[in-house]
Amino acid sequence: MKLDRYLLLSWKRVLIIACVWVLSVLLHNLIYGLFYEHFSRTGGDEPVFFILAVIVIPLYFIISLLYTVIRLVRSRIS
């Protein structure tokens, strides 16, 4: 199935997801720290890596986890 390539979890993929999450948090803080004066004047924040760390990566992990569990349950039933 084509979805297995993207959604089926392994320990390697879980480690990669965790590392990408940590990297996006660090990049968010680094960019915010480097451009602090600009963000203070405009009243904004760095949105790209923040959205990745808070929404996209956890959502991908939850969907992948559910897909993996459903596939394991179906394979044990059959």
Give tens-digit pLDDT for 19-78: 999 999 999 999 999 999 999 999 888 999 999 999 999 999 999 999 999 999 999 997
Residue 78's pLDDT is 79
Using CA atoms, how far apart are residues 13 and 16, in angstroms rounded to an integer?
Answer: 5
Which residues lie below 8 Å from residue 49, measured CB to CB, with a gap of 6+?
A: 24, 25, 27, 28, 31
Number of domains in the chain: 1
Using CA atoms, how far apart are residues 22 and 3, in angstroms rounded to an integer?
Answer: 25
Residue 73's pLDDT is 96
Domain of 38, in residue numbers: 4-77
Reported pTM: 0.87
Residue 66's pLDDT is 97
Residue 1's pLDDT is 75
